[in-house]
Structure 1
Amino acid sequence: MDNFRRRLLSGGAAGAAVSILNACAGPLTMTSTTKVPAPQLDDLYARTKLMCFGRYAVELPAETEQIMGFQEIAGGFKQFALVDYRGPGFLLQSEWEKVTRHGRPDSQILTPISDGPVQGAKYMWFYDMEYARKADLRLLRGAIPIGPTLYLYRGMTIPREKITADDLFRDMTGIMRGMRSWGGKSVPREPGVCIAGAFIHEPTYRFREIMSSGFAFPSMPDVHFSVMSNKNASTQDENGIGLLESVRLAQRDAGVLGLLGGYPYTFLRRGKRTLHGLWEGEEVLSRSTRDQALRFEWQLVGQTGNVARPAHLDISLSTRVRNNRVGAARTSAISEEQAVALWDRLLEGVKFRVAVPGATAASVALG
């Protein structure tokens, strides 16, 4: 099971912003959900486009710029510029040199760099230390060029979990066969995942998937919107705590610690919010009392391994973002009322790109 803890991505694709969970007082109550129309919202959405990442698609204003964040399916794929390595064999050789360079004289190559498992790809097996050899924790590395990018697959046999070398090689082969170059301008209409530079046809839904993307708006340079999904994460113990309870605990901790000024956020809206009749999540819309930045968050704690209701689905919007830091900009391009209206429009626009098992019709962008 993937124990990767969900991350709150506000302020862009890669930057984890200061969250409302950082540390406040008072019971949780639901404030007004009345939507205030934003004067520029109709103009902003006069022209829209569908943008995708992972298995998701988001309806966004035509001006939107996308910044792909963390992306992983099964053991891949880390990305490298093809011009930097001249081909998959050179990349694998570099990976092996990293192992030996870090002082691991007990590392052992099991197979030389070999062609396959699909045309243009190469792979190798090795142990990276003596403990791995004794426990038969064999490492598999595979590299494949897709367009101008090299994609690196990483896997490891785990005998106690019955993950064999045949399993890993079969998985890598299936994923590589499903890969094709994708420039982001069109939206694929088949099952699979969109990653930076490539689309992977994948109709089995059996792999671990962690996908995230950030979105920026040139006409509102301080406003950043982001989405992150982790299908196979743990929902046990603290990983199963929802957003509202997390805020309550942060409020309690602020009181216990006696933070000067108390909990540094005021709430515009908070409560349960279901999207598309499927995702029974929770949202908290807040303003920082320190830098006046808006931090809007919606989270779903779903079911581990359920593609329709992933273990963790986190959606965020922040204002006053500069250099990927929330609160760093002194002013914002939009008012509080406009931000709430934009948030509602963006949030409802997050859907599956095409249908997945268990999805509702309302949760699918391309029916």
Structure 2
Amino acid sequence: MTELTANLKTRCVGRYLVDMPEGATEYGYARIGGVDIEAKAMTEDAYRQEIAQRETVLKTVEITYPRPFLYAAGPARGRSTYYFIYRDTLIDSPATRYIEGYKWDRGYRFLLKIETYDYVHPDQTDDPIVKQFDVKNEVPAKTNLVFDLLEKLRGRPNEEIPTEPGVCFAGGFLPGKATDDQYVRGGFTLTSNPDVSFVVSVDTASQGGITLLQHADDSQTLDALKAMDAKVIRKGTVELSGLRAEEWLFEGLKPGDGRGDTFTLSVNDTTSGPSSPYLSLEMDTGGQLKIQGKFVKLDKGSLTTREAIALWDAVSRKVRVRPGAFGYRFSNNISNR
């Protein structure tokens, strides 16, 4: 356990910082303004090959699909960018459009994707339902959104911690102010203990009026815990660096009928917004592992519950707002009950 907690490395998720065991594998994505964004490390040559292959696939589909299928393709805004606008499967409405944007920057390929609509091409504006829409073709606006994001996105090694306002996600950084439509999900898996994982979710949208502890005491939750033969280890409020959080730790049956631990911490459950993003940190141990495409049940996790708690305390107590993330001194709305 000392080896896991002695060398924690700072990672950036959303506008927060978390410390993870050295060597943890990081993955994740962002959703900004409804656009899904993921980054993947690759060379520029590999990126250009991927674009060429994607264009070949889309043009091949057009041969057997009612035309047009591929509506637009070409460089987007900025260096090393490209985009496609196309329809998808045969079951889709003729109005359905998918916009894909690509960019290579600093060793990372970005893939952006959003679904939208166009009731003008082909013309469906006489449809009574379509007549009720203020905007009958969202493609131009959504294309501009994708282009704006492509222009700003930067490749970012996971160990690099930005000092300016913006949003971090695995492999990338989007500079700019906080808005109410920014979601990031980051995952971390321990190489030495593959059944141990952390998931961090950061969201500027409202989460409703239920706190983690209220959810933990809900009658349906209590029934689910009973079905899992779960044992609550502890739950309550936690004071972090400038943040008030709630945590809930329990041990019980996992999918596959193995046993393991589930620990959760949350910040800003009921006060989430651009200036006070919701954060959820979850740690899981035990359960089952996917090995060579098959799930293998673990009768118990690689960590004892006591060891898992020690790791959890080392990681969860270091959650904090990234300095400079908002461009001003962060003042947390701590009334999250």
Same fold (TM over 0.5): yes
Change (3 A) 1:320 1:148: same
Q: Does 1:353 align with 2:296?
A: no
Q: Distance in 2 between matches of 1:66 and 1:228?
A: 16
| Aligned equivalent of 2:200 | 227
Q: How is 1:156-175 mapped onto 2 (pairs within 5 angstroms)?
A: 156-157=115-116, 160=133, 164-175=138-149
Q: How is 1:1-367 mapped onto 2 (pairs within 5 angstroms)?
A: 40-41=1-2, 44-61=4-21, 63-74=22-33, 75-79=35-39, 86-87=48-49, 89-90=51-52, 92-94=54-56, 96-97=58-59, 100=62, 104-105=65-66, 107-111=68-72, 113-128=73-88, 133=94, 138-157=97-116, 160=133, 164-205=138-179, 207-216=181-190, 218=192, 222-232=195-205, 235=207, 242=212, 244-245=214-215, 248-251=218-221, 253=223, 262-273=227-238, 275-280=240-245, 282-288=246-252, 291-300=258-267, 302=269, 306-310=273-277, 313-320=279-286, 323=289, 328-354=297-323, 355-356=325-326, 359-360=330-331
Q: Which segments of 5 or more consecutive residues in structure 2 lack a partner in the other structure?
A: 119-132
Could you tell me which amino acid in structure 1 is paired with residue 261 of structure 2?
Answer: L
Report 1 or 2 for greater relative contact order, CA contacts < 8 Å, sequence distance ≥ 6.
1
Change (3 A) 1:269 1:141: same
Check conservation: 2:204, 2:277, Cα contact below 8 A: yes
Q: Distance in 2 between matches of 1:194 and 1:254?
A: 34
2:313 aligns to what SS in structure 1?
helix
Change (3 A) 1:107 1:246: farther
Check conservation: 1:225, 1:318, Cα contact below 8 A: yes
Q: Distance in 2 between matches of 1:276 and 1:327?
A: 39
Q: Distance in 2 between matches of 1:301 and 1:100?
A: 48
Residue 68 of structure 1: CA displacement?
0.9
Q: Distance in 1 between matches of 2:139 and 2:275?
A: 29
Change (3 A) 1:231 1:87: farther
Query: Aligned pairs, how many?
Result: 307
| Aligned equivalent of 2:123 | none
Could you report, residue by residue, the CA deviation over 1:248-300 in whole angstroms, capped at 9, with x for unpaired residues?
A: 33355459xxxxx85510111123445445455x3221121664422212235
1:176 aligns to what SS in structure 2?
helix
- Normalising by the residue count of structure 1, what TM-score does the alignment of the two structures yield? 0.65
Q: Distance in 2 between matches of 1:99 and 1:223?
A: 42
Change (3 A) 1:130 1:67: closer
Q: Distance in 2 between matches of 1:202 and 1:87?
A: 31
Q: Distance in 2 between matches of 1:278 and 1:201?
A: 23
Could you report, residue by residue, the CA deviation over 1:171-230 in whole angstroms, capped at 9, with x for unpaired residues?
A: 223322222332223222122233333333233535432322224263x55433332223
Could you tell me which amino acid in structure 2 is paired with residue 266 of structure 1?
Answer: K
Could you report, residue by residue, the CA deviation over 1:85-106 in whole angstroms, capped at 9, with x for unpaired residues?
A: 63474255256358658x7525
Residue 347 of structure 1: CA displacement?
1.0
Q: Which segments of 5 or more consecutive residues in structure 1 lack a partner in the other structure?
A: 1-39, 256-260
Percent identity (aligned):
20
Check conservation: 1:51, 1:57, Cα contact below 8 A: yes
Q: Distance in 1 between matches of 2:10 and 2:284?
A: 21
Q: Distance in 1 between matches of 2:6 and 2:223?
A: 45
Check conservation: 1:88, 1:122, Cα contact below 8 A: no
- Normalising by the residue count of structure 2, what TM-score does the alignment of the two structures yield? 0.70
Q: Distance in 2 between matches of 1:222 and 1:110?
A: 45
| Superposed CA RMSD | 4.1
Check conservation: 1:141, 1:153, Cα contact below 8 A: yes
1:117 aligns to what SS in structure 2?
coil
1:105 aligns to what SS in structure 2?
coil
